[in-house]
Amino acid sequence: TFNDFIDVARWLIETKKLTTPDLLSCEGRSAGGMTVGAAINQAPELFKMAILGVPFVDVVGTMTDASIPLTASEWEEWGNPNERKFFDYMKSYTPMSNVKKGATYPTVFLLGGLYDPRVQYWEPTKFAATLRHTQGPESGPVCLKIDMSAGHFSASDRYKYLRETAFDYAFLLDQVGLVSHADNVDEPTLDVQSSSK
């Protein structure tokens, strides 16, 4: 999965020439956030920005703790890291354990929910700290946003969800340079003439 994700990025950039690393972003939520985390660890040079929503990035740490909801029931699918063979395999790909010291990483935007029972808020928090203290000085910023009222599926209110999505994409567009920050630009005005009938 991780290699496929990276291969598609290379195909878009090198083979098809549809984009460049300065414009390519990626996004994943939950286990998809793990995929994105693994991809930026393996090939950080391919991406300008990565959004990881409620990312499952500390696979070993979470899966060894049977007191965390859903963990023990997932051992059948993922393997039990309390057994050496599964521990070693998970350690080889978990994003938390594979951040490259001194590597230049893309901008990383991590999102979590305080009430998330599946991927607790400390996973994106720990990953943010790990990236900040390990990545190289030319890396993009690492930003963390924890929603103090959300669970695993973000905002349940439709309008809050739309506001959150707009925020995420505004940040993304800014980071890939598609937002103008020109000073002294007059705000557009709407000239409305009313008529009464």
73 noted as active-site residue: no
Angle between helices 2-10 and 31-42 (to 10 degrees): 60
| Residues 6+ positions from 90 with CB-CB distance below 8 Å | 59, 60, 63, 78, 79, 81
Quick check: 44 and 104 in contact, CB under 8 A?
Answer: yes
Does residue 181 carry a catalytic annotation?
no
Instruction: List the catalytic residue out of 116, 139, 147, 154.
Output: 116
Of the candidates 97, 152, 168, 174, the residue annotated as catalytic is: 152
The amino acid at 141: P
- 30 carries an active-site annotation: yes
d(CA 27, CA 2): 13
DSSP bridge pairs for 196: none
Pick the catalytic residue: 30, 97, 168, 174? 30
How many helices (H) and strands (E) in the chain? Answer: 7, 4
Catalytic residues: 30, 116, 152
